[in-house]
Every structure is written in C-alpha cells, then in structure tokens.
C-alpha cells in the first residue's frame, strides 16, 4: 500500500498530482535565469553545466515541449486535476477536487466526530467516498497523465538541479537545496524552503510569476500536500474497496493528513 515517505509513485495521476502541486518550484526556472544574468559577479564560480541549465530555463521556457511556461502547464494539468493545490484557489467545481474533497471530508468525520453514529458506519462512508474518487482517477489515468508527467517532470528536475548547486545558491548567500528526491516524497528541508522563498519573491518582484509570493512555511505545507495527496491517490487507486479495516484506517489517516496540509496552507492566506 502506498504511503507518505515512499520514493516512487505507482500511478501516473499520483505523479502528476505531486508535480502539479509543486509547480511553484518549476516556476522558479525563469527567476534563476534572471538572477544569474542580472548579477554575474555573484555567480562567477557556477559550473558550465549549471550555467547551461540556467540558460535553457531562461530561453526555452514557453518555447519547447520540455519547458512549458506557467500558462502551458496549466493548460496541460488543469483539465485533469483542476487548479494546483500548491496555489490558493477557490476551485471546488472541478471533478477532481469534488471527488478528492469527498474522501478528505469522510476522513475528517471519521477522525474528528464522536462515534455516536458508529465507527463502522463512518468507515464505510469513507469507503464509499474512496470508490467515487477511484472512479474519477480511473478516467484520468493513462496516456494523457503520463504525457503530462513527462512534460513537467523533466522541467522540475532541471530547476531542482540548479537549486542544489552550491555555487548558485552561494551567489544568493544561501545554502543549497538538497539533492533529489527533494522537494518530492515529503522530503522537507529548511534550506530548500528558504531558497524557494527567496527566488519566489525575486520572481514576483520582476513580474515573472502571477501568484502571491510564498514563505518557508507555505512551501513546507505545499510539500506535505503534494506528498500526502499523491500517496492517497495511489492507495485508493490500488484498492478502493479497502475491505480490511486496517487498510481502510491507513487510507483514512493518509487522507486526513492530506486535508490537514491543505488546511494549514490555506490558513496562511
């Protein structure tokens, strides 16, 4: 059964959910290019390989299929998963968010409500919500999700490579982000979060992003959303019946943690 902390995802839709939620990182590619070009004296020691990666991020974003810009990534992912849960949005109309909210709310009711109505009834209500969610996921899983993963996954990886370069981060006066699997799979790290915050504010100040800049706490919450959501998707896709109570309870715990991460992020508005 999928669980938070895994270092692989089983389904394409789980991978895509994680990548789409972490889109704020992918969006930093242009900021990396602008900072590098605007302050060359700060980045004299950056390797040629990293400089070439930064150039690709700066000049190719929006111009080829491996470096989609923010609008192109949205056009690719929104029809499948609605607005990114790594952004503060009011998207309750998308089929994905409606089905996901059903699972999350059923988990909340199981965890937070008294058991006057019966523990088994609440567990069965979660199972019903999981079946509805899986029905939606089954329609999304396949070539479209896998194609989107290929498009946005490689782009994210390039940005992460730059953020992990000690000479690049040192030019900003900061430690580097960790190496992969950060920022995926619940790999939370303060240095990485600080670097994301710094570059996201830089992007906002230079008109390179459309969202409100995020801080370290926001980014850690986004990482938790990405990890718990992807793990829940894999778990429910694999076995929506959750016939064993232990399996159902594990799935409920994951969905509840997913809901908690979303709540924590949105409470920072």
Count CB atoms within 10 A of the CB of residue 1: 15
Is 159 part of any domain?
Answer: yes
Q: Are the C-beta atoms of residues 159 and 150 closer than 8 Å to each other?
A: no
pLDDT tens, 38-57? 999 999 999 999 999 999 99
Tally of structural domains, the chain: 1
Q: Is the dihedral of CA 141, 144, 147, 151 positive or negative?
A: negative
Is 2 part of any domain?
Answer: no
Is 5 part of any domain?
Answer: no
Tell me the residue ranges of DSSP E strands in 178-242.
none
b/e for 208-229, b at 16 or more Cβ within 10 A?
Answer: bbebebbebebbbbbbbbbbbb
Q: What is the mean pLDDT of residues 71-93?
A: 91
What value does the CA radius of gyration of the chain take, rounded to a whole number of Å? 19
Is 244 part of any domain?
Answer: yes
Is 3 part of any domain?
Answer: no
Residue 176 has pLDDT above 90, yes or no: yes
Is 41 part of any domain?
Answer: yes
Q: Are the C-beta atoms of residues 167 and 45 closer than 8 Å to each other?
A: yes
Residue numbers of the domain that contains 62: 12-266
Give the model's confidence band at 6: pLDDT under 50 very low, under 70 low, under 90 confident, else very high.
low
First to last CA, the chain: 34
Is 7 part of any domain?
Answer: no
């Amino acid at each position: 059964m999928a669980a938070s902390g895994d270092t692989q995802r089983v389904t394409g839709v789980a991978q895509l959910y994680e990548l789409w939620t972490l889109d704020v990182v992918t969006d930093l590619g242009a900021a990396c290019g602008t900072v590098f070009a605007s302050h060359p004296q700060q980045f004299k020691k950056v390797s040629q390989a990293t400089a070439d990666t930064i150039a690709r991020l700066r000049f190719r974003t929006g111009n080829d299929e491996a470096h989609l810009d923010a609008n192109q990534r949205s056009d690719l992912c929104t029809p499948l998963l609605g607005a990114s849960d790594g952004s503060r949005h009011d998207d309750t109309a998308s089929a994905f968010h409606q089905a996901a909210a059903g699972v999350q709310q059923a988990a909340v009711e199981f965890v937070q409500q008294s058991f006057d109505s019966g523990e088994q009834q609440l567990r069965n209500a979660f199972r019903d919500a999981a079946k509805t969610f899986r029905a939606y996921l089954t329609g999304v899983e396949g070539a479209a999700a896998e194609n989107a993963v290929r498009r946005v996954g490689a782009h994210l990886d390039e940005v992460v490579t730059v953020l992990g370069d000690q000479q690049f981060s040192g030019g900003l006066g900061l430690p580097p982000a960790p190496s992969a699997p950060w920022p995926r799979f619940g790999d939370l790290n303060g240095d990485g979060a600080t670097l994301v915050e710094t570059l996201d504010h830089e992007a906002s100040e230079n008109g390179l992003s459309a969202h409100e800049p995020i801080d370290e706490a926001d980014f850690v919450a986004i990482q938790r959303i990405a990890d718990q959501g992807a793990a829940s998707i894999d778990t429910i896709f694999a076995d929506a019946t959750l016939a064993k109570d232990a399996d159902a309870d594990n799935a409920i715990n994951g969905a509840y943690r997913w809901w908690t991460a979303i709540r924590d992020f949105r409470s920072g508005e």
